[in-house]
Amino acid sequence: MTWRATVLTLFPEMFPGPLGVSLAGRALASGVWGLETRDIRASATDRHRSVDDTPAGGGPGMVLRADVLAAAIDAVDASSDRPRLVMSPRGRPLSQARVAELAAGPGPLIVCGRFEGIDQRVIDARQLEEVSIGDYVLSGGEIAAMALIDACVRLLPGVMGKLASSTEESFSAGLLEYPQYTRPQMFEGRPIPDILTSGDHARVAAWRQAETEALTRARRPDLWALRPVQITGPKSESRKTPKNKTDG
């Protein structure tokens, strides 16, 4: 079954956008994955196609209505067991591990919010998983949805040229990726590290691992603190309790 992303948005014309070029675009054109966009306004019931209203309790902005958004979700597939996501700055941060889980499934349904957010009742009633791509606020969920979809698509079989490249990059092992270099050998007085051109694969692997650990410690101490700690070395021997000596 083809992996498929369904996006509910007020601006379907934003898609495929960046997803239509490069690796994701070629894979989309060849049918490796599918993209479906649904206009939330199509589920509005009044002649003005209203999708929002003022916040209960007062406050600035507008809020997406629960009844309209619920109808839009149900119109896709009311009985679907696909992951249902809503892009939100208050959601759980998107991780590479979660991306891998989503890529291994049938593909998610993604709700893109706008204005001040969406009615909490539709989040609860339709069991939407709130997902964040960072601690900042965007004008809507569309760009965040594109980022999530792109991260998933590149893990699909047949999308990336070399499988090893996806297993050695940042976050694949919970750490940041090591620095990369290519020709020319010298750039503005900065050479490629000699070890990378030594031909010694064991030394190269050790250098890359050391750089990965150093970068993660310096830039993402939160990731470094969560890494699995490997205990090496001989097991400590149990100490024998010496017998008490008595004067004879």
Residue 29 domain-assigned? yes
Average pLDDT over residues 26-44: 97
Return the biggest CA–CA distance within the chain.
108
Looking at the structure, do residues 184 and 211 belong to the same domain, yes or no? Answer: yes
Looking at the structure, do residues 97 and 202 belong to the same domain, yes or no? Answer: no
Q: Per-residue confidence at 173, pLDDT binned at 50, 70, 90?
A: confident
Residue 100 domain-assigned? yes
Residue 160 domain-assigned? no
Query: What is the model's pTM?
Result: 0.86
Looking at the structure, do residues 30 and 92 belong to the same domain, yes or no? Answer: yes
Looking at the structure, do residues 138 and 19 belong to the same domain, yes or no? Answer: yes
3-class secondary-structure state, position 78: coil
Is 107 one of the annotated binding-site residues? no
Looking at the structure, do residues 149 and 172 belong to the same domain, yes or no? Answer: no
What does residue 4 show for φ and ψ, rounded to 5 degrees?
-140, 135
Average pLDDT, the chain: 90
Q: What is the pLDDT of residue 229?
A: 72
Looking at the structure, do residues 68 and 174 belong to the same domain, yes or no? Answer: no
CATH number, domain with residue 186: 1.10.1270.20
Looking at the structure, do residues 199 and 79 belong to the same domain, yes or no? Answer: no
10-19, 128-137, 172-181: least confidently modelled range: 172-181
Is 40 one of the annotated binding-site residues? no
* pLDDT tens digits for range 72-105: 999 997 667 899 999 999 999 999 999 999 999 9
Average pLDDT over residues 156-169: 71
Is 133 one of the annotated binding-site residues? yes
Residue 163 domain-assigned? no
Nearest to 127 by CA among 92, 85, 155, 99: 85
Looking at the structure, do residues 201 and 83 belong to the same domain, yes or no? Answer: no
Q: What is the pLDDT of residue 239?
A: 44
Residues 19, 90, 85, 227, CA torsion sign:
positive
Looking at the structure, do residues 42 and 110 belong to the same domain, yes or no? Answer: yes
Is the confidence at residue 161, as pLDDT, over 90? no
Neighbours of 156 (CB within 10 A): 18
Residue 65 in tokens = 């209505």
From 120, 153, 186, the end of a domain falls on 153
Looking at the structure, do residues 19 and 119 belong to the same domain, yes or no? Answer: yes
From 153, 176, 205, the end of a domain falls on 153
Residue 43 domain-assigned? yes
Residue 162 domain-assigned? no
Residue 117 domain-assigned? yes
Cα 103 from chain centroid?
Answer: 10
Higher local confidence (pLDDT), 163 or 41: 41
Residue 114 domain-assigned? yes
% of the chain beyond a pLDDT of 70 = 88
Is 135 one of the annotated binding-site residues? yes
Residue 36 in tokens = 């479906």
* pLDDT tens digits for range 39-73: 999 999 999 999 999 999 999 999 999 999 999 99
Looking at the structure, do residues 133 and 28 belong to the same domain, yes or no? Answer: yes
Residue 23 in tokens = 């690796």
Is 21 one of the annotated binding-site residues? no
Residue 42 in tokens = 């199509």
Looking at the structure, do residues 128 and 193 belong to the same domain, yes or no? Answer: no
Domain assignment of residue 11, given as a range: 3-153
Is 134 one of the annotated binding-site residues? yes
Is 73 one of the annotated binding-site residues? no
Residue 96 in tokens = 């590479």
% of the chain beyond a pLDDT of 90 = 82
CATH number, domain with residue 95: 3.40.1280.10
Split into its structural domains, the chain has a count of 2
